[in-house]
Amino acid sequence: MKRVLLVEDDPAIAGMIGDWLGGEGFAVAWCARGDEAVAKARECDIVVLDVMLPGVGGFEVLRRLRSETDELARLPVIMLTARGDVTDRVVGLELGADDYLSKPFDPRELTARLRAVLRRRDEAAPGAPLPESQKLAVDDVEVETAARIARLQGNPLPLTGAEFDVLVVLLRGAGQVLDRDTLCRQAFGRKWTSSDRAVDMHVSNLRRKLGPLPDGRDRLQSVRGAGYVYVRAGDGIR
């Protein structure tokens, strides 16, 4: 049974979410304060983290988790943000959240997101049965899909689970323009909506971590109104 830490200061909302997830086969621990969340997270498999918390807020909790030097740094986190607040979504994804949901949300959607994120994590766990592996290499970037290892110029490239999945899709389609719906479906297993900023932020994080090509061009280029293209060194794309 997967253990979920729900960090939510509203008891009514926490009770509703906890009851639903319990009925879906999750073991749910509840925490109302951000300053208690990091310690309790050590006992869980994934965190559902509200942005608006008294005292230590959700963003600071996420920063503390990602600054740890053990497994906590890679613990999956789904952020709960206010509807329509794009800034919260952007900041959460920049800090390393795996996904987000805007309140109010359908609990079935939360269940689907939890299972998708946990499936990616379990596939990467040491000792887990490995799926058929594929090695992808484009110029000085390479990934091993089964082991979920990424390298840049032969050196390990630290990526979140979501960033890794987006990179794999981009490398497979290198040189082609991939729209956001394709990226979202292939990386996260869900359709893209116009209010969904997850793909954009993960691409932005990848662009920063990968850096430019040797000739100074961006490896990941935006194509207005179409999507993104992973540029190979020999491509004539400017």
> pLDDT for 197-223, tens place per residue?
888 888 998 999 999 988 888 999 999
Residue 237's pLDDT is 62
Q: For residues 119 and 150, state if they share a domain.
A: no
Domain closes at, from 80, 99, 124? 124
Residue 128's pLDDT is 42
Q: What is the CATH number of the domain that holds 182?
A: 1.10.10.10
Residue 134's pLDDT is 78
Give the 3-state secondary structure of 15-46.
Answer: HHHHHHHHHCCCEEEEECCHHHHHHHHCCCCE
Rounded CA-CA distance 163/175 in Å is 19
Residue 130's pLDDT is 40
Rounded CA-CA distance 230/89 in Å is 24
Task: Pick out the chain residues at pLDDT < 70.
Answer: 83-85, 123-133, 236-238
- The residue range of the domain holding 173 is 135-230
Let me know: does 94 contact 88? Beta carbons within 8 Å: no
Rounded CA-CA distance 201/180 in Å is 11
How do beta strands 99-103 and 77-82 pair? parallel
Give the pTM: 0.67
Q: For residues 216 and 152, state if they share a domain.
A: yes
> pLDDT for 78-113, tens place per residue?
999 876 667 777 788 888 888 888 888 899 999 998
How do beta strands 135-138 and 141-144 pair? antiparallel
Instruction: Quote the tokens at residue 10.
Output: 């509203």
Residue 151's pLDDT is 94
Rounded CA-CA distance 77/85 in Å is 18
User: Is 207 within the bounds of a domain?
Assistant: yes
